Structure 1
Amino acid sequence: MKLKMGGLKVVLLLLGVFMCVIPFSYGLSESCMMVYDEGRAPAVLRSPECPDWVLSAESRLNCQFSTTQGRRRYQEDHISCNLDMKIPLSGENGPKNINVGVVAVFDGHIGKEASEMASKLFMDYFYLHSVFGLHKNWLSEKEEQDIDEESELHSSNLGRCIPTEASCLICIPTFLIMREAFKINSASGTTAVVLLLVDGQIFVANVGDSKALLCSETQDDDGSLKAYLSPKELTIDHTAHRDEERSRIEQAGGIITGYGLPLINGHFPMTRAIGDVPLKIYGIISDPELRDWQALTANDSYLVISSDGIFESLNPKHVCELLQGAHSGGSKKLKRKPSCSSESSLADCIVQEAFEKGSTDNLSVVVVPLRSAGFSPMKH
């Protein structure tokens, strides 16, 4: 998909305003910036110069999630989630925070090492790139354009202070630094799907075949709402079914066999993954595919972020129909298909249904009820 940055809108306006006013706060010292320049997130986390920038261990704050080993011998799925991450920035009237929801699901293979490491590193890396990277980008823009702070605060000049590629600046280094960390383990690998929620907008990045989808109310031709939630898939699997992915693998010397699920060199189904160092020579890459920022609407009801095991036995339409029970308050009218009740854990409900339908994989899912979480615009 073509990457566009026009959807950043209000969040980047706020980021630009806040960053333009006070260059160093919350421990963002010049010495710590130098550490970041030299070694990025890993160096900051190790440095005594930057004691204030380490988050807590693997977090699942304010998130509705479920994960189980299922029928596999080992659990290789891991989740990191925080729907209320505070990104510290400086403002005209003092320190301010931008609230960012962050959900990440990692599905490991050939061992749990890569997915486990990713889940532990991701929040710290993302947090550091959000603060240091955006600030560094602003300093670079400011130096090039030689714009003083007063002129930056004028509305006609705010665009110059806003990083025009903020999503790339945050997400790509996070993924690629994790890739470097996994070189110490030549066998293990992991998929990754990351979803950001900021100011009523979502941004999705993925590597491999873990998935994100949006369940929304849709309208009939007469304008009335349909009885069931409809899915919109926010990711596309990285497999040899996609022409551009197949071409890269074949040009690198990889052999693709099979039709139902094409396999690389007879055993590997994905064309992108983090880790898997021995397969890199065959065109397996870890670069994330980034989707456009998308504004949520009043009809958007649930976000679902999961490992591919959920969709081994369910399809996106089935998942959204499961959530319909909670969406309608457990209405007894919904007898056509099983559904989750408003009293149950929606994530547990999806995992249980996938297991009962025969999935043989690890099962992990995060469900974000947009209206109750305050992420979806209210109807007028």
Structure 2
Amino acid sequence: MSPLARTVRYLLLRPQTLLLLGGSLALWSVLEVKTILRSSRDAVSKMKGRVEEMMHSEGMLHEGFSKTWQHKSSGAAVYSIQGKRDHMEDRFDILTDALNQSHTNIYGIFDGHGGETAAEYAKSHLSVMLRQQLQRYETQKESSTLTRQSILKQQILDMDKEILEKLSASYDEAGTTCLVALLSEKELTVANVGDSRAVLCDKDGNAVPLSHDHKPYHLKERKRIKKAGGFISFSGSWRVQGVLAMSRSLGDYPLKKLNVLIPDPDVLTFDLDKLQPQFMILASDGLWDAFSNEEAVHFIKERLDEPHFGAKSIVLQAFSRGCPDNITVMVVKLKKRGSKAAGE
């Protein structure tokens, strides 16, 4: 062994040298542990911040659902949220007769504006009035000159008169859309006032429009408004007299006084044997601001097995896409032809 190697060995084996190395190793271990602990604390702090952020975001989401309504029966489901609006002005109604399947089922969507009064009144009274008139018609239809279509149209016009009389007395300027579907054994009749909308999924999965929106920028509506001495202007959307983003409604007595707004419904009838429908969607414009007819039909078709037949899922999806409005969606499942109509 060389003199240098003997010297190194001597120094390394001295007790003092071993003690110094042991102390250095212990000090290094302590410093390393502190570093690990500091990193762990930082990671925990970051995770805590993310959790708090998620909880805050979830809280913001729950604020959008401060008022949520839902309905579920064997053939129809509804999901309705307030969204980011200050007030919940959407209403819906379903009137069926489980004891008498021959009676017409009635489905309604009412999207209020300027307050909930008009929508609430229409929801509470229109279906009941319709049921009474339709039952009377069924017992006398062989000799009657009336039809389901004429009854539906007249009842909506009468409802507008009632709302105007009631609300104008208290200077309540509220108004509402009115979307009503009558489902019988062979026919589907849909009436629409405003911009709520209905669409059907036929046997091939195609979207079939059941109604058409009444918007101020549509040529027919624009001409009528101008002829009545009114105007439309753009403020985020086209508005009648710079105020209302639809050209027909129930209520809205100040605009009705000017004759620029009318309550006349479009009424369409569909042959169920011909269409062989799978389901229909009735919804306020909160949905249609985020979904096209075709996209909505495809979305619901993939989710008919869900508890709300996809109504809840599509409402949440519309909300997540940034729609700030009240959103109400009704899905009515329609059984295959040859069996009794669904929607009970």
Q: 1:217 to 1:127 in 2, by over 3 A?
A: closer
Structure-1 residue corresponding to 2:296: 319
Q: In the aligned structure 1, how far is the partner of 2:340 from the partner of 2:300?
A: 18
Q: Which aligned pairs between 1:227-376 and structure 2 lie closer than 5 A?
A: 229-258=205-234, 261-280=237-256, 281-297=258-274, 299-326=276-303, 342=306, 345-371=309-335, 374-375=340-341
Asked if residue 69 in structure 1 is aligned to residue 45 in structure 2, the reply is: no
Query: Which one of the candidate residues 111, 126, 130 is aligned to 1:126?
Result: 130
Structure 1: distance between partners of 2:117 and 2:267? 25
- How far residue 358 of structure 1 moved from its aligned partner, in angstroms, is 1.2
Alpha-carbon distance in 2 for matches of 1:266, 1:312: 20
Match of 1:167 among 148, 155, 167: 148
2:340 & 2:295 partners in 1: Cα distance? 25
Q: 2:195 aligns with which of 202, 209, 221?
A: 209
Deviation (angstroms), 1:101: 1.6
Identity of aligned residues (%): 28
SS across alignment from 2:88: coil
Q: Secondary structure at the match of 1:99?
A: coil
Name the CA shift for 1:298/1:130 in 2 (closer, same or farther; >3 Å): closer
Distance (Å, rounded) in 2 between the aligned partners of 1:176 and 1:291: 16
Q: Mean alpha-carbon deviation: is it higher for 308-317 or for 108-117?
A: 308-317
Q: Residue type of the partner of 1:69? A: Q
Give the CA deviation at 1:86: 6.3
Provide the rounded CA distance (Å) in 2 between the counterparts of 1:298 and 1:266: 40
Show the counterpart of 1:110. Answer: 114
8 Å Cα contact 2:235/2:242 also seen in 1: no
Question: Which string of whole-angstrom CA distances, capped at 9 and with x for unpartnered residues, describes residues 5-48 of structure 1?
Answer: xxxxxxxxxxxxxxxxxxxxxxxxxxxxxxxxxxxxxxxxxxxx
Per-residue CA deviations over 1:54-99 (Å, capped at 9, x if unaligned) read xxxxx98653111111111110000001343667xxxxxxxxx723
Contact 1:86–1:99 (CA<8 Å) still a contact in 2?
no
SS in 2 for 1:371: coil
1:141-173 Cα deviation digits (max 9, x unpaired): xxxxxxxxxxxxxxxxxxxx2535412442123
Asked whether the equivalents of residues 60 and 79 of structure 1 are also in contact (C-alpha less than 8 Å), the reply is no
CA drift at 1:344: 5.5
Task: Summarize deviations over 1:178-230 as a string: whole Å, max 9, x none.
Answer: 11221221301000100111113211001001100001343xxxxxxxxxx32
Match of 1:200 in 2: 186
SS in 2 for 1:132: helix
- Give the direction of change, closer, same or farther, for the CA distance of 1:298–1:257 in structure 2 (3 Å limit): closer
Normalised to the residue count of structure 1, the TM-score between the two structures is 0.63
Once the two structures are TM-superposed, the CA of residue 315 in structure 1 deviates from its matched residue by 1.3
Where 1:368 maps in the other structure, the secondary structure is strand
Partner amino acid for 2:223? Answer: S
Structure exhibiting the larger radius of gyration computed from Cα positions: 2
**Which residue identity does 2:86 align to in structure 1?**
R
Aligned length in residues: 263
Name the SS for the 2:247 alignment partner: coil
**What is the identity, as a one-letter code, of the residue corresponding to 2:268?**
R
Greater helix content: 2
- Deviation at 1:106? 0.3
Matched residue of 1:98: which SS?
Answer: coil
**C-alpha distance in structure 1 between counterparts of 2:186 and 2:72, whole Å:** 21
The offset of 1:113, in angstroms, is 0.2
Letter in 2 for 1:346: G
Contact 2:190-2:211 within 8 A present in 1 as well: yes
Mapped to 1, the partners of 2:211 and 2:138 lie a distance apart of 26
The answer (yes or no) to whether the contact 1:252–1:282 under 8 Å persists in 2 is yes
Which is further off, 161-170 or 183-192?
161-170
Amino acid at match of 1:196: L
